[in-house]
Amino acid sequence: MNRIINDPDHVVEDAIQGYRLAHPNYYAATDNARVLKYPPAPIAGKVGIVTGGGSGHEPAFLGYVGKNMLDAVAIGEIFSSPTAGAFLDAFKAADSGAGVACLYGNYAGDNMNVKMAIKKATAAGIRVKTVVANDDVASAPASERDKRRGVAGEILMWKVGAAAAAKGYDLDGVIGAAQKAIDRCRSIGVGLSSCTIPRSANPIFISKTARWRSASAITANRALRYRRSSRRRRWPAPCSILCSTICRWNKARRWRC
């Protein structure tokens, strides 16, 4: 695997610096090297919008910092959750006194570190409420929707929540809007081959020539496997999951998958 990087151990820091140098109007440094914020933030009277996640998913997560979008972002190592300290500092960077909406994906490390950060933020007088994205229909059945991951639906959740904040909604209003958005969102991912991380030459998973992976997620940590076939026959499995979900919504006027 050929890469254009300096040091594998500092690739995240280099990427953060690159974003700042390339887009100084969108990114400002904070006291925490793993937290970037929108330069005008915190904006007086506005609910702060924060997210966070592992590096390697660009343009998520820091790529969505900007006007009427994210106010601050916590940045983790490659495919690893940001620390509780990074989330806490992101809350501080975004808080104007109107509270902070933390909109993030349903991953174990993120859940744990956000909860710890909220405890410390509450002790510091910062109100934080959360919405957890769980739009990936292939990562768990409908009966266990709380176990589903957040993937592409997070972007729509951020946009809707941030738009509500920009319109002057209070913290409960922003949380309600973001929750409504993700409740109505479903997604599925497909991976034909694996990526590699900078510190390793080995792929994350091996996909045999007769197989491809559906629902491989942004970190490829879980997947359904289907046999390769012609292009015409390749996509029915994941598409049928989404289509059946849409059909159930149209018929019953409520999500059932």
pLDDT given for residue 246 in this prediction? 62
Alpha-carbon gap, residue 221 to 204, rounded angstroms: 8
* pLDDT for res 36: 97
**Residue 159: its H or E element:** helix 153-166
As a whole-number percent, the residues of the chain with pLDDT over 90 amount to 60
Confidence of residue 245 (pLDDT cuts 50, 70, 90): low
Three-state SS at 179:
helix
Burial class (CB in 10 A: 0-12, 13-18, 19+), 209: exposed
pLDDT of the residue at 253: 63
Rounded mean pLDDT, 135-150: 87
Within 13 Å and on the Cβ side, how many CA atoms surround 112? 7
Class of residue 24 by CB neighbours under 10 A (exposed 0-12, middle 13-18, buried 19+): exposed
- Burial class from Cβ neighbours inside 10 Å (0-12, 13-18, 19+) for residue 94 reads buried
Residue with tokens 């879980």: 222
- Cβ 47 vs Cβ 72: under 8 Å: no
**Model confidence at 97, in pLDDT bands (50, 70, 90)?**
very high
Whether residue 94 contacts residue 37, with contact meaning beta carbons closer than 8 Å, is answered with yes
pLDDT at 4: 81
pLDDT, mean of residues 26-50 = 98
pLDDT for 210: 47
Q: Choose among 241, 64, 71, 218: nearest CA to 155.
A: 64
Q: What are phi and psi of 53, to 5 degrees?
A: 175, 180
**DSSP per residue, 104-142:** EE--HHHHHHHHHHHHHHHHTT--EEEEEE--BTTSS-G
Q: Tokens standing for 62?
A: 């820091």
pTM: 0.85
Name which of 131-135, 178-182, 198-202, 224-228 the model is least confident about.
224-228
Q: Is the pLDDT of residue 73 over 50?
A: yes
Domains, the chain, in order of start with CATH, read: 8-183 (3.40.50.10440), 190-252 (no CATH)
